Amino acid sequence: MLPIGRGKSLLFIVLAYLNYTSVTIVIVLFYGLIKDLVIYIYTRSINCIE
């Protein structure tokens, strides 16, 4: 497990961006992190749902 701020989120964000015809499922345990990720992903023009 890597510490906070080491780019773990980029792994699935890049995967979702490159495979735009498929579905990437991510499980996030903290509500605050979910909101941050959704905002970050939408600003990159990647569709997502909570």
Q: How many of the other CB atoms lie within 10 Å of CB of 48?
A: 14
Q: Where are the domains of the chain?
A: 8-43
**Mean pLDDT (whole number) for 18-47:** 83
pLDDT digits (tens, 9 = 90+) for 5-19: 667 777 778 877 787
C-beta separation of 28 from 34 below 8 A: yes
- Tokens 């345990």 found at: 29
Tell if the pTM clears 0.75, that is, is over it: no
